[in-house]
Structure 1
């Protein structure tokens, strides 16, 4: 491999590892067994604390960060060069030190409460070590950008009294800074870490169980059966299967690496050029962070930050998610029409009904999760029950399969249901009943054929979930430093005032500035960190300008996701390039074009909050959704250069202007846009008839 190719491959690998750390490990011998055991213990600790709530919140956060540090220093070396096959002694020392400090709040919880606000010398030393370990852990996973962005706020807090240009503040001593970062719930153990230690981890683990159980195959088979035979079928399969995956996995990069292994080669086999195939998968996979019920990690942090139930965030994201995937589907349909790309033969597509009959039990935990989330239950309870239901169904299906006759299987399921009802009537909490049923199923699994393999699969899922949670968790801990310093110094309100001042009170300009900030930050940060920073700095400015709270946060959340598609970094494109072997910049540019309509949806939501269901008027919702779909139709035609016939540049400009007018909430703009859309469709119809007439004459 040449030096440039090797450098590019290393860059791809590091970007993938940033959001999917489980890919970096190739340990052998005792190191592999130790890391596996730590990951399983991490998952068991999180399930135990979520189900039984035995520890205080600050202790759970502290131990959570301790596990994150231990796993990070085991998984990632000081310099990341390919796969790791062993763990040096000094990394074990650093990791165990981080884990030991994670127990500090547990061991000295009462003493820390008694001397709250007056830390001892030991507290300060331990806190300083913890902060340094978190910064180094983040650097190993995500590179130097995020640690630098967060790190500059510590000297700002210490030496703020000496700064010019209106940035000065009273200044804080080192003990006050460490007290905020380590001993309070405003720094490392702030809201992002709280959400990581509860909701985020459980939902990542939930997705890991379903993926190991075969959910990816089910989604791919259903998608192939639905649209595999249509025009451009393979690309449409990529969009739909990635949308399905988004319901259980909120990581765009992870979606690329799972569904993309199947869809990208399929697209290339049926005529899509490699860069376009990678771009379709990258675009569709990034939308997974928008797709309820399991959205990206930032969505859980958003709910906690703005103080609303997670279900409200999921409901607000529903229509934008549909528009996003509808836009991607429309783009690949137009590309297929432009290049005359056909689908798979009908007889090569699997049966949707057969796939659902074989994998029906995998859909039940997802259905239960949706019901619980939208029935007023907390995400913590929904996540615990989702995991318990998934494990119980996997074990129960294996045991039932070993019983034999269908009648006995039915009796088994009835008996299991009666046992659960009996335990519940005895006064056990619902989640405890679920785990009791899991315990009852483990013993017969050890007896029946294939049961041990099923148990091994579940244990592997525990390890996968913990490994996949490392990147998000460390980012949450580090960004807590930034949030803590912003809170301590009051800088967040100053930033908001600056944005308002720069925009001159013009909302559109403020939105554009915020969008650019999200995309620029996204070139070096994962989505979660990007959202937390922009939500602290930019979202308050939009709120000051009259944008509703949830809409302003959805705006920065949405563009934090779009940043992962935008070159030069484009993490999703980097992941796709590892499969299709095309240049990641080419993939990123095409993905940006495919997702172009997606850049419009957040602006439309700001000008008409009915798009995120911030109204009780169904007619207003129907109108804005119709408007959005028409705008996406025009954007798609202008971007691809095809509708029913190829478009020349004047036609593409005309379509772009019509789509842009839909965004503006000014008098007559909608009416003019609808008229332009109708004229565009009629013109295309006229041209299509002309082309068909010319072909008939020939």
Structure 2
């Protein structure tokens, strides 16, 4: 093996280790591996049961869901990443210390307390006895520690600050003073009601998100990830900057079902980043393109990661309405990233891969059509039948399970090998997928449960105060309020998974955006405010200095992680402008749009507006931009994305806003012709 190959292999190993550390903290072996795997598989089977035949009270479901998750955290994640005070016991990665087994059992028991004494808790609702207070307090403490282990200290710190604020609010300065709560009320609402830990976020995690994460794990185990990569390469690999475009397409396809930026990077990046480097992309840019593509995978309908399901619950709309609202911003963002990869290839004078090195399209497509069956069924159930997300995911899962068993058996029959061995492999793959799906859900369950503490404090009466404080900070200016929300989302999201970032910011700022907008004459649909928080929570995944997706990609590309994160964020600026646009132009989220023709027109113009913005920020359109061309390109963006504003400035009424698209097309065409003439006379420019 050459030295370059060894370096590349080490990079892939490091990236996979980062992803594995994000998913599970210890190297498991022996009895601990058997116990944890058994618990994980039982968790998956429980979730499949409540989606099909097992009928339980929603409070039971949430408690059992949390108990499984918190047990796995204490059994899988070390207390510290490195030995403290010279004691290796706290950071043991080769075994599960006795203390962690005790904490795992205690945490699971505390989570299940509402199930074990359900009738008693209901009968004394609002008047908890000392035992209730003790078990509730124990759950809060162990949940915060489990959250710290599984997803880092940020959410634990924020939840702790909110907890202290709930008690010490009366002693704060007048501007942020809060009436405060008693211990009985705090613990009761957090652990013995459905407004705190057992609130809507945990309910969505338990009833919907788990099934979609499990579906993604099974699809990956069946081999769909490699199929998507090969299919993307066969389609786009031969074009200018082909490997980069293939990375974007495959990351979008995988991101639809994985919902995890870092898992997406490791799945697609191990294959596409070396190809991009070989073609001529610098290590930093190759890694940054993969990061930007993988991060935006959570925007891609129909699955959109865990937070999209919580949006549907918070806004009280069918999930399909969330998908509809996110469709144009998500696909316009991906189209612009494809354009950026084309720009980068043009700057460097790169071409595509030789056709003989690419997989044949039709052979690749027909060789993996089976992977499209469960995915197609999921989309069909969601969009056509309008079944609930739970039913849609469950039906897609059992179809996928049949596929995972049938696929190796058919291959064995064709190769005249043992069908019994193939059947065993298929069943083992299903068990491995059940295990992986549960482990992948741990961080989501911890995020939704711990964020429930913040939501619970806000529900105690802090929400009105937050609105007043945010309004005061923004000075009643809706634009400043949006900027504050965006920056806060990026900062908080550096240390939190997307789901937790969204829950925190949506609880604090989404109502304020709607309220402040309404007070100044802007009608902001609630779903637009929630999507705004969701988009910036996703963008935080590649924001330096913490973005794990950037660290994973830089390990594969052997690039500097900070520079990779900065470059990835520069690529993601084209996504960052979209929320600011759809807050005011509701056409972009198809709010009130029922015509297919109008929807497609809006999508096409949004793409062109995003292309113009990308060209301006990247310094290149079809040639290097001249200084005077940058403001012209930036001018195309609002014309295409805010035609209502331009129409108002032009004296036209709202109903004629789409005529502004002609002005945008004319300006964009003019810039194209100017650069085309320049390149024809001076090709080097």
The aligned residue for residue 498 of structure 2 is 527
**Whole-angstrom distance in 2 between the partners of 1:352 and 1:521:** 43
Secondary structure of 1:247 counterpart: helix
Deviation at 1:601, TM superposition (A): 1.2
Q: 1:202 aligned to 2:211?
A: yes
**Whole-angstrom distance in 2 between the partners of 1:401 and 1:598:** 43
**Whole-angstrom distance in 2 between the partners of 1:359 and 1:616:** 36
For residues 388-399 of structure 1, the aligned pairs below 5 Å read 388-399=398-409
**Whole-angstrom distance in 2 between the partners of 1:608 and 1:83:** 53
Deviation at 1:567, TM superposition (A): 2.0
The aligned residue for residue 681 of structure 1 is 672
The aligned residue for residue 379 of structure 1 is 389
Equivalent of 1:249 in 258, 270, 278? 258
Cα contact 1:202–1:383 (8 A) shared by 2: yes
Secondary structure of 2:682 counterpart: helix
Would you say how many aligned residue pairs link Structure 1 and Structure 2? 646
The aligned residue for residue 422 of structure 1 is none
The aligned residue for residue 602 of structure 2 is 624
**Whole-angstrom distance in 1 between the partners of 2:632 and 2:411:** 61
Equivalent of 1:259 in 261, 264, 268? 268
Deviation at 1:305, TM superposition (A): 1.0
The aligned residue for residue 463 of structure 1 is 435
Equivalent of 2:477 in 494, 502, 506? 506
Deviation at 1:596, TM superposition (A): 1.8
Q: Which runs of 5+ in 1 are unaligned?
A: 1-7, 407-444
The aligned residue for residue 323 of structure 1 is 332
Structure 1, 34-43 or 201-210: larger mean CA deviation? 34-43
**Whole-angstrom distance in 1 between the partners of 2:253 and 2:594:** 29
Equivalent of 1:639 in 617, 621, 641? 617
The aligned residue for residue 436 of structure 1 is none
Structure 1, 384-393 or 609-618: larger mean CA deviation? 609-618
For residues 251-650 of structure 1, the aligned pairs below 5 Å read 251-374=260-383, 375-401=385-411, 448-488=420-460, 490-544=461-515, 545=517, 546-616=523-593, 618=595, 620-650=598-628
Secondary structure of 1:394 counterpart: helix
**Whole-angstrom distance in 1 between the partners of 2:161 and 2:575:** 33
Per the alignment, do residues 170 and 501 of structure 1 end up closer, same or farther by CA in structure 2, a change over 3 Å counting?
Answer: closer
**Whole-angstrom distance in 1 between the partners of 2:54 and 2:649:** 56
Per the alignment, do residues 658 and 319 of structure 1 end up closer, same or farther by CA in structure 2, a change over 3 Å counting?
Answer: closer
Cα contact 1:67–1:102 (8 A) shared by 2: no
**Whole-angstrom distance in 2 between the partners of 1:278 and 1:124:** 50
**Whole-angstrom distance in 1 between the partners of 2:456 and 2:291:** 34
Cα contact 1:203–1:383 (8 A) shared by 2: yes
CA deviations on 1:176-213 (whole Å, 9 max, x unpaired) are: 10001111111111111111111111110000000000
Cα contact 2:412–2:418 (8 A) shared by 1: no
CA deviations on 1:249-289 (whole Å, 9 max, x unpaired) are: 11111111111111111111211111111101110011111
Secondary structure of 1:468 counterpart: helix
Cα contact 1:327–1:595 (8 A) shared by 2: no
Secondary structure of 1:95 counterpart: helix
The aligned residue for residue 99 of structure 1 is 108
Per the alignment, do residues 265 and 404 of structure 1 end up closer, same or farther by CA in structure 2, a change over 3 Å counting?
Answer: closer
Cα contact 1:511–1:603 (8 A) shared by 2: yes
CA deviations on 1:8-30 (whole Å, 9 max, x unpaired) are: 99998997467x414x4422222
Cα contact 1:246–1:292 (8 A) shared by 2: no
Cα contact 1:210–1:362 (8 A) shared by 2: yes
The aligned residue for residue 65 of structure 1 is 66
Cα contact 2:404–2:429 (8 A) shared by 1: no
Deviation at 1:605, TM superposition (A): 1.0
The aligned residue for residue 411 of structure 1 is none
CA deviations on 1:512-539 (whole Å, 9 max, x unpaired) are: 2221121121122221111001111111
Cα contact 2:78–2:92 (8 A) shared by 1: no
Per the alignment, do residues 484 and 13 of structure 1 end up closer, same or farther by CA in structure 2, a change over 3 Å counting?
Answer: farther
Secondary structure of 2:303 counterpart: coil
Deviation at 1:617, TM superposition (A): 5.1
Q: 1:53 aligned to 2:40?
A: no
**Whole-angstrom distance in 2 between the partners of 1:398 and 1:662:** 50
Cα contact 2:514–2:524 (8 A) shared by 1: yes
TM, length-normalised to structure 2: 0.89
Per the alignment, do residues 11 and 364 of structure 1 end up closer, same or farther by CA in structure 2, a change over 3 Å counting?
Answer: closer
Equivalent of 2:232 in 201, 223, 234? 223
For residues 22-33 of structure 1, the aligned pairs below 5 Å read 22=24, 24-33=25-34
**Whole-angstrom distance in 2 between the partners of 1:12 and 1:401:** 32
TM, length-normalised to structure 1: 0.88
CA deviations on 1:456-514 (whole Å, 9 max, x unpaired) are: 111111110011111111011100000001101x2122222333343343332222222
- Root mean square deviation, CA, Å: 2.5
Cα contact 2:154–2:492 (8 A) shared by 1: no
Per the alignment, do residues 624 and 359 of structure 1 end up closer, same or farther by CA in structure 2, a change over 3 Å counting?
Answer: closer
**Whole-angstrom distance in 1 between the partners of 2:481 and 2:547:** 24
The aligned residue for residue 426 of structure 1 is none
Deviation at 1:101, TM superposition (A): 2.2
**Whole-angstrom distance in 1 between the partners of 2:250 and 2:576:** 22
Per the alignment, do residues 405 and 284 of structure 1 end up closer, same or farther by CA in structure 2, a change over 3 Å counting?
Answer: closer
Equivalent of 1:659 in 618, 628, 637? 637
Cα contact 1:221–1:351 (8 A) shared by 2: no
**Whole-angstrom distance in 1 between the partners of 2:398 and 2:100:** 34
Cα contact 2:74–2:146 (8 A) shared by 1: yes
**Whole-angstrom distance in 1 between the partners of 2:14 and 2:458:** 32
